[in-house]
Amino acid sequence: MSELGDSRPESTGPPGTPGSGRAVENAVLIVEDQPELLRALRINLRARQYDVLTARTGREALALAASQPPDAVILDLGLPDIDGTEVIVELRRWSKAPIIVLSGRTSPGDKIGALDVGADDYVTKPFAMAELLARLRAALRRDEGNADPGGPRQAMIGHWLVDLSTHRVTRAAGPATVPTTGPSPADPGSPPRPGSGGGGSDLEPGETLRLTPTEWRILELLLPRPGQLVGSAQILTGVWGPGFRQRTNYLRFHMARLRRKLEDNPARPRHLLTEPGMGYRYQP
């Protein structure tokens, strides 16, 4: 703690996403039960334009990460409820965001244990704020380097604009496709009147939709590759891990939920397509 006596922000330091040209700030989740340390971290990160989320317990951290997926996590191991190592294990079930452990535990066994379950770096307390910030920047750079293939970060699915950078799904202002939702498809005698608008959709433009972390992970793999087949094993490995290559039932379940949320007609998807026996394809 002695290094943290002065919590004034340093005068220099790059913004959250150096060189990326995007205005989106990196969101960092800080999990720490010491109030003064939590405060010092928050002040220093905010001063560098990070979007800061904080939690004081492991369970609070997991709930927060699920509702607002962070780009990086700074994690204390000694937490009041569950151990920080358990938090790493749970996060790694769905998140690839870099995790930097910040702990008073200095034994090699503790470090190895945390790194083995999925932490990316380990900083021991007491620590110098400048070093922690440098490690955070390095972790985010590495993460950016491993990121998706550089495809589009926004995609339309029916009426929904899906933004992979901000994790927002917004109802588009105008209809992307004209829904042919005649009230009585069994009656061929009355053609749909042009201009009568999509009958069934009473959603307002700008309305937002919530997706789960798992659903976002699936879309992260599909949407940047418009028109391409993405194999089931690739998605299962990317979302759940290498031990899940065969669990195609997981994928069917979550794809069905995504279609119910995003497709105009989930029974006849036009954008989230199944290639039987092979995988899935995002068709713009």
Of 29-37, 57-65, 130-138, 250-258, the segment contacting Ca ion by CB under 5 A is 29-37
Rounded least distance, CB 44 to Ca ion, Å: 18
Site residue total, Ca ion (CB under 5 A): 3
* Secondary structure in 3-state letters for the chain: CHHHCCCCCCCCCCCCCCCCCCCCCCEEEEECCCHHHHHHHHHHHHHCCCEEEEECCHHHHHHHHHHCCCCEEEECCCCCCCCHHHHHHHHHCCCCCCEEEEECCCCHHHHHHHHHCCCCEEEECCCCHHHHHHHHHHHHHHHHHCCCCCCCCEEEECCEEEECCCCEEEECCCCCCCCCCCCCCCCCCCCCCCCCCCCCCCCCCCCEECCCHHHHHHHHHHCCCCCCEEEHHHHHHHHCCHHHCCCHHHHHHHHHHHHHHHCCCCCCCCCEEEECCCEEEECC
| 51 is an interface residue for Ca ion by CB under 5 A | no
Please report whether residue 126 would count as binding Ca ion according to CB under 5 A: no
CB of 34 to Ca ion, least distance (A): 6
Contact between 76 and Ca ion by CB under 5 A: the answer reads yes
Q: Which is nearer to Ca ion, 80 or 199 (CB)?
A: 80
Q: Rule CB under 5 A: say whether 33 interacts with Ca ion.
A: yes
Nearer to Ca ion, 38 or 129 (CB): 38
Q: Provide the minimum distance between the beta carbon of 215 and Ca ion in the complex, in angstroms, as a whole number.
A: 33
By CB under 5 A, tell whether 78 contacts Ca ion.
yes
**Cβ at position 101, least distance to Ca ion in Å:** 11
3 is an interface residue for Ca ion by CB under 5 A: no
* Beta carbon of residue 99, minimum distance to Ca ion (angstroms, whole number): 16
Residue nearest to Ca ion (CB): 78
Is 128 exposed, middle or buried (CB count within 10 Å of its CB: 0-12, 13-18, 19+)?
A: exposed
Per rule CB under 5 A, is residue 110 in the interface with Ca ion? no
Q: Binding pattern to Ca ion, positions 170-199, x when CB under 5 A?
A: ------------------------------
Q: How far is the CB of 118 from Ca ion (least distance, A)?
A: 19
Query: Considering only 43-51, 73-81, 196-204, 230-238, which stretch makes contact with Ca ion by CB under 5 A?
Result: 73-81
Segment lying near Ca ion (by CB under 5 A), choices 26-34, 107-115, 121-129, 170-178: 26-34
Rounded Cα gap, residues 98 and 140, in angstroms: 7
- Bond before 98 cis per omega within 30 degrees: no
Q: Which residues bind Ca ion (CB under 5 A)?
A: 33, 76, 78
